[in-house]
Amino acid sequence: MPKAVRYDGFGGVDVLRVDEVERPAPGSGQVLVRVKAAGINPGEALIRTGALAEMFPSTFPSGQGSDLAGVVEEVGPGVAGHAPGDEVIGFSNNRASHAELVLVEADDLTHKPAEVPWEVAGGLYVVGVTAWGAVHSVHPGEGETVVVSGAAGGVGSLAVQLARRTGATVIGLAGEGNHAWLRSHGVIPVAYGDGVADRIRAAAPDGVDAFVDTHGDGYVELALALGVPVERIDTIADYAAAAKYGVRTDGGTAAGPGAEVLAELARLIAAGQLELPVANVYPLSEVRAAYTELERRHTRGKIVLRP
Ligand SMILES: NC(=O)c1ccc[n+]([C@@H]2O[C@H](COP(=O)([O-])OP(=O)(O)OC[C@H]3O[C@@H](n4cnc5c(N)ncnc54)[C@H](OP(=O)(O)O)[C@@H]3O)[C@@H](O)[C@H]2O)c1
């Protein structure tokens, strides 16, 4: 029987376990995918603790995971364009991808270019569409300066590169250990912490035009203090500040159809024009260790499970 991550109630990483489950059967329009890699995300950890129970209710036993890449195992009735053996990238909206086999709606899959490694493909969905949506939301352009907080995290590492592709000057807020990586992608690194506003002003003498906050915890206020207009501030992590000040909260869903954005991001990665760093890879059986590392919140890029 195939294995899948399950948990029976809200809690810390210790509620997570790997169970043997029934083999899923694809219904109409569905594809059964043998998962090769599946990214993990902070939102899943929040859902597991119960912190988001009102916004995203849970039923138990719960599965987990949106991101996935793998090989088509079986297709259901009415599926065109996917066949057994195809290598695909996609997502599940049913908290189900941390598993050996997952059912996916055919429209939520795209072809995996051979040049994109499994770990990168499997970690691409949530951070990719979110970075895409956030950058489009504040639409930086040539001659402008945009600041990205959490610049080396899963979303941030892609957001800084997508922002650079617009021709804008990009300032990335990150710990010292990530500054060389940011520089190598044409991003001006600035250390966060005390004095960050002055360091940004020094790095952007003509001012800051747009701000993408992927961390929360005061960066919306910082953006406002820097004089960025509310309509050009996007936070994906601080909904209280967004409600208070009226800044944007565009992320994954603002990007349009997920599979189309995934296809475009995968094309850029295959062409060597975009990098999604993979910080660590864990076997499915070590899902607790994977989330323990994620919850330290100093990941560069993605942590990925390999079933
Ligand atoms: N709304 C949506 O659609 C959506 C989608 C995806 C994610 N999110 C949310 O967005 C946030 C980021 O997700 P993620 O996957 O990118 O997380 P992540 O990969 O875990 O982020 C880790 C990064 O956070 C940085 N960081 C830690 N403390 C910081 C600080 N005080 N200031 C600036 N950066 C700091 C770390 O940088 P250093 O290592 O350099 O310290 C590290 O690179 C999470 O809250 C997540 O829930 C929302």
Whether the per-residue pLDDT at 224 is higher than 70: the answer is: yes
Largest Cα–Cα distance in the chain?
61
Q: Is 277 touching ligand 1 by the criterion CB < 6 Å?
A: no
Whether the per-residue pLDDT at 91 is higher than 60: the answer is: yes
Domain ranges (residues) in the chain: 3-124+276-306, 128-254
**What is the Cα–Cα distance from 208 to 143, expressed in whole angstroms?**
11
The CATH superfamily of 3-124+276-306 is Medium-chain alcohol dehydrogenases, catalytic domain (3.90.180.10)
Q: Is 279 touching ligand 1 by the criterion CB < 6 Å?
A: no
Give residue 252's pLDDT.
74
* Tens of pLDDT, residues 104-140: 999 999 999 999 999 999 999 999 999 999 999 999 9
Ligand 1: which residue has its CA nearest to atom 36? Answer: 298
Which H helix or E strand runs over 125?
A: helix 125-138
Ligand 1: which residue has its CA nearest to atom 39? Answer: 298
Which residue is listed with tokens 């890879």? 281
Give residue 253's pLDDT.
65
Q: What percent of the chain has pLDDT over 70?
A: 99
Q: Is 152 touching ligand 1 by the criterion CB < 6 Å?
A: yes
* Chain centroid to CA 21: 27
- Residue 72 near residue 85 (C-beta atoms within 8 A): yes
Q: Is 192 touching ligand 1 by the criterion CB < 6 Å?
A: yes
Report CA-CA distances (Å) from 295 to 43, 120, 237, 252: 10, 20, 15, 21
Report CA-CA distances (Å) from 280 to 98, 182, 189, 271, 274: 16, 19, 23, 23, 19
* Tens of pLDDT, residues 243-302: 999 999 998 765 567 999 999 999 999 999 999 999 999 999 999 999 999 999 999 999
**What is the Cα–Cα distance from 289 to 113, expressed in whole angstroms?**
30
237 Cβ contact partners less than 8 Å away, ≥ 6 residues apart: 150, 213, 214, 215, 216, 217
Q: Is 175 touching ligand 1 by the criterion CB < 6 Å?
A: yes
Q: Is 189 touching ligand 1 by the criterion CB < 6 Å?
A: no
For CA atoms 175, 300, 246, 265, the dihedral sign is positive
What separation, in Å, do the N-terminal and C-terminal C-alpha atoms of the chain show?
A: 13
Q: Is 174 touching ligand 1 by the criterion CB < 6 Å?
A: yes
**What is the Cα–Cα distance from 62 to 48, expressed in whole angstroms?**
9
For CA atoms 58, 250, 107, 65, the dihedral sign is negative
Token pair belonging to 283? 């076997």
Ligand 1: which residue has its CA nearest to atom 23? Answer: 153
Give residue 256's pLDDT.
65
Going from the Cα of 25 to the center of ligand 1, the distance in angstroms, rounded, reads 36
The CATH superfamily of 128-254 is NAD(P)-binding Rossmann-like Domain (3.40.50.720)
| 3-class state of residue 53 by DSSP | coil
- CA proximity to 221, closest of 206, 235, 202, 241: 241
Decide if 3-124+276-306 and 128-254 have a common fold: no
Give residue 87's pLDDT.
98
Ligand 1: which residue has its CA nearest to atom 24? Answer: 150
- Residue 7 near residue 15 (C-beta atoms within 8 A): yes
Pairing of strands 67-75, 101-105: unpaired
Give residue 289's pLDDT.
98
Name the residue of 297, 302, 303 to mutate for ligand 1: max ligand atoms within 8 A of Cβ.
297
Which H helix or E strand runs over 288?
A: helix 287-294
Going from the Cα of 30 to the center of ligand 1, the distance in angstroms, rounded, reads 32
Mean pLDDT of 70-82: 97
Q: Is 75 touching ligand 1 by the criterion CB < 6 Å?
A: no
123 Cβ contact partners less than 8 Å away, ≥ 6 residues apart: 37, 38, 39, 67, 154, 276, 278, 301, 302, 303, 304
- Residue 69 near residue 91 (C-beta atoms within 8 A): no
Going from the Cα of 1 to the center of ligand 1, the distance in angstroms, rounded, reads 35
Structure pTM? 0.98
Mean pLDDT of 210-235: 98
| 3-class state of residue 293 by DSSP | helix
Helix axes 154-164, 125-138, angle to 10 degrees: 40
